[in-house]
Amino acid sequence: MSNPKVPDIQWFEDSLKELVKAKDDKEKTSIIDKLRTELFNLESTKKFLGENAAKYFEELSKKRNEKLPAITNYPETEEEIQKIVEEAYKDGNTIVRVVGSGHSISDAIIDKENKKIVLISLKKFNGVEFISDDTVKVKAGTHLNQDPQDDTSNLSNSLNYIINERGYAFPDLGGIAHQTVGGFLSTGSSGGSSKYSLEESVISINIINGKGELKELTRPNDDFFAAGVSMGLFGIITYVTFKLNPNYYIYGSQVSTFVDEGLNSDYQKGCPIDLFGSTNKPQDVPSLYDFFANGSNYDAEYSRLLWWPQTDVNRFTIWKAKRTEVLDLKGFTKPTAPYLEFNEILGSQIPEQIIAHIAYVALNILYLIDDDTTRKIAALILSFFSGVVQQAFQDIWYNGLPMDDKVSDTILPTTFTELWFQIRNADDTNKIMNKLKDYFASGDSATGNNATEIYTTKKSEFWLSPSYDYENVIRIDFFYFLGNKVGDPNEFFEKCCKVFDGFEYRCHWGKYIPDNYKVDVNKYSKYNQWMAIREQMDPNQIFVTQYWRKVLNIEPQKK
Ligand SMILES: Cc1cc2nc3c(=O)[nH]c(=O)nc-3n(C[C@H](O)[C@H](O)[C@H](O)COP(=O)(O)OP(=O)(O)OC[C@H]3O[C@@H](n4cnc5c(N)ncnc54)[C@H](O)[C@@H]3O)c2cc1C
């Protein structure tokens, strides 16, 4: 990297130097405490962030979707949506796209190359109607949980809260639940469970196709399974109908464990999961394959691992949970002990996230300096600022399952690339994990300053879901902090994906997809059928962007 612009963080560096000179753990802890206080001291924080921290964070939060044009259409009825589509259909030159909560990369949402684009937000098209006891028809603009970025979204109009109040739940959720129903489904998003999946609750999808016609697609028809994951290319989803599960609580734990200390079912003595395929694995330590495929055997119906692979850090944070079997304890409401990703300061996780933000920026710069002392400083920062580690938690499903829901999109905005691999046995998983291990061992530019998430998902029935046809899956999700002062997410991701050249993987549709990635029938067995239904749904290609044309090999329309 040439001449990176290093921001002024002298005061921070001075404290770190003190830290390295500290003679024992007691002194280190006292310097770290001082550092935390200092970091949170408004003057220092302001000095670092500039005069207006709120403005700084607001600008930062726009980074993920800075290329999105202004939204001009906020339809409130299906008729209004139909009208927009009909006009585009007649015009023949206008592209129509929907933005949900905008959590996907902008390429997945809009068309950067086409000037005539109508961008629709469904934030005024939200609401939930119970059509029978356990069946709910939901407008596609409804958020799963509250989306802090949408001023119209709140707890009482969020889908999960509403169904929970009636005694119902979804089987699973993603790591955050700010998304809209339409956006979550369209990209095949899912949580970390090989046992449960939200998609299985979907029984019908109402969609306005490329001619402006209203279609109701129902299970188990082909067009339903094709449309379930269709990235806005089949039309505009207006309603999704779900058959719900009885609501439940989850309980679980999080531990942090070192990678290089051998294996042991006690996480303090060694890693309790065999991540790479050890030759002398104790019997009570599962292989990673087994941990994902048979999670119930390990109290891990839901799980996710965060790998911090940096020099001198190299540790895994293992989060796992299962459903509780009783709804209350002898008539009492079950107590909650929510999962805390960050320490609370005055009842809020936000102050600690500001500290984490500053720490990530500092790390991003420290990793440019290649020497042992700097690595030790970096390792210490990561150890002290990577959140609350060992803990047990118990919570209502919609608070507990999205473990990252409290991470602020403004303070810690993150972008991702995510590869899904089919795994048939422990050998498959070991090959993937060892490849990744070798890559991370190649240095700081490979590890970056953030974690890599490793999780699983359930086989999907939707034809273009990356887990369609896959009995078991491992997902490698590389994180990139958008507050980094040096580096470029796409360059970082391109290198991460290259590691798996020669492996067969499928990309998450809402995240960065490498340039050489093209989908064809070899990757998805129903690709040809999916393409044929797409053509019927949108004969004039009014939803097709240049990006999706390239990734999915959609030929221009024959005139
Ligand atoms: C912090 C963070 C955490 C995440 N965690 C997870 C996770 O745990 N698991 C996971 O699988 N993914 C995860 N993702 C990815 C995320 O779930 C997807 O990007 C998802 O699509 C976002 O939903 P959205 O409402 O923001 O949709 P958008 O990103 O706004 O849109 C996604 C796609 O759907 C289309 N679309 C949206 N609404 C409609 C509609 N009504 N009709 C037709 N097309 C529509 C859009 O045009 C676009 O192509 C995460 C992303 C972020 C930023």
Question: Residue 14's pLDDT is what?
Answer: 66
- Region 212-225 average pLDDT: 98
Question: Residue 550's pLDDT is what?
Answer: 94
- Distance from Cα 418 to the centre of ligand 1, integer Å: 13
Q: Which atom of ligand 1 is nearest to the CA of 232?
A: 44
Question: Residue 42's pLDDT is what?
Answer: 43
Beta carbon of 229 within 6 Å of any ligand 1 atom: no
Q: Give yes or no for a contact between 202 and 241, defined as CB atoms under 8 angstroms apart.
A: yes
- The structure tokens 């999205």 sit at 402
Beta carbon of 140 within 6 Å of any ligand 1 atom: yes
- Region 59-68 average pLDDT: 65
Span of 29-33, 74-78, 200-204, 344-348 with lowest mean pLDDT: 29-33
Per-residue pLDDT tens digits for 406-454: 998 888 889 999 999 999 999 999 999 999 999 999 999 999 999 999 9
Span of 78-87, 181-190, 521-530 with lowest mean pLDDT: 521-530
Per-residue pLDDT tens digits for 121-130: 999 999 999 9
- Distance from Cα 188 to the centre of ligand 1, integer Å: 8
**% of the chain exceeding 70 in pLDDT:** 87
Backbone angles phi, psi at 226, to 5 degrees: -75, -40
Pocket-testing residue among 85, 189, 304, ligand 1, by greatest number of atoms within 8 A of Cβ: 189
Q: Which atom of ligand 1 is nearest to the CA of 103?
A: 26
Beta carbon of 106 within 6 Å of any ligand 1 atom: no
Per-residue pLDDT tens digits for 356-378: 887 888 788 888 877 787 787 77
Q: Which atom of ligand 1 is nearest to the CA of 402?
A: 8
Q: Which atom of ligand 1 is nearest to the CA of 415?
A: 53
Beta carbon of 103 within 6 Å of any ligand 1 atom: yes
In a 10 Å sphere around its CB, with 0-12 CB exposed, 13-18 middle and 19+ buried, how is residue 10 labelled? exposed
- Region 377-404 average pLDDT: 84
**% of the chain exceeding 90 in pLDDT:** 68
Per-residue pLDDT tens digits for 264-302: 999 989 999 999 999 889 999 999 999 999 999 999 999
- Distance from Cα 103 to the centre of ligand 1, integer Å: 5
Strands (E), 423-551: 452-455, 473-481, 506-507
* Residue 57's pLDDT band (cuts 50, 70, 90): low
CA–CA dist 306, 40 (Å, integer): 26
CA–CA dist 289, 442 (Å, integer): 25
474 strand-pairing partners: 421
- Region 88-104 average pLDDT: 94
Question: Residue 109's pLDDT is what?
Answer: 95
Question: Residue 441's pLDDT is what?
Answer: 95
Q: Which atom of ligand 1 is nearest to the CA of 185?
A: 21
In a 10 Å sphere around its CB, with 0-12 CB exposed, 13-18 middle and 19+ buried, how is residue 336 labelled? middle
Question: Residue 255's pLDDT is what?
Answer: 93
Question: Residue 1's pLDDT is what?
Answer: 33
Span of 24-33, 198-207, 251-260 with lowest mean pLDDT: 24-33
- Region 157-166 average pLDDT: 97
Beta carbon of 545 within 6 Å of any ligand 1 atom: no
- Distance from Cα 101 to the centre of ligand 1, integer Å: 7
Per-residue pLDDT tens digits for 306-339: 999 998 889 999 999 999 876 666 667 777 899 9
Across 20-29, 113-122, 399-408, the highest mean pLDDT is recorded for 399-408
Pocket-testing residue among 146, 176, 542, ligand 1, by greatest number of atoms within 8 A of Cβ: 176
Beta carbon of 507 within 6 Å of any ligand 1 atom: no
Beta carbon of 483 within 6 Å of any ligand 1 atom: no
Q: Cα 261 vs. chain centroid, distance in angstroms?
A: 29
CA distances from 291 to 306, 311, 315, 427 (A): 15, 26, 18, 14
**Which two tokens mark 277?**
């395929």
For residue 81, is pLDDT > 70? yes
Beta carbon of 236 within 6 Å of any ligand 1 atom: yes
In a 10 Å sphere around its CB, with 0-12 CB exposed, 13-18 middle and 19+ buried, how is residue 448 labelled? buried
- Region 149-160 average pLDDT: 95
- Distance from Cα 186 to the centre of ligand 1, integer Å: 7
Beta carbon of 231 within 6 Å of any ligand 1 atom: yes
- Distance from Cα 527 to the centre of ligand 1, integer Å: 21
- Distance from Cα 510 to the centre of ligand 1, integer Å: 6
347's CB contacts (< 8 A; 6+ apart) are none
Question: Residue 349's pLDDT is what?
Answer: 83
DSSP notation for 84-149: HHHHHHHHSS-EEEEESS--S-HHHH--SS-S-EEEEE-TTS--EEEEETTEEEEETT-BSS--TT
- Distance from Cα 354 to the centre of ligand 1, integer Å: 25
Question: Residue 483's pLDDT is what?
Answer: 87
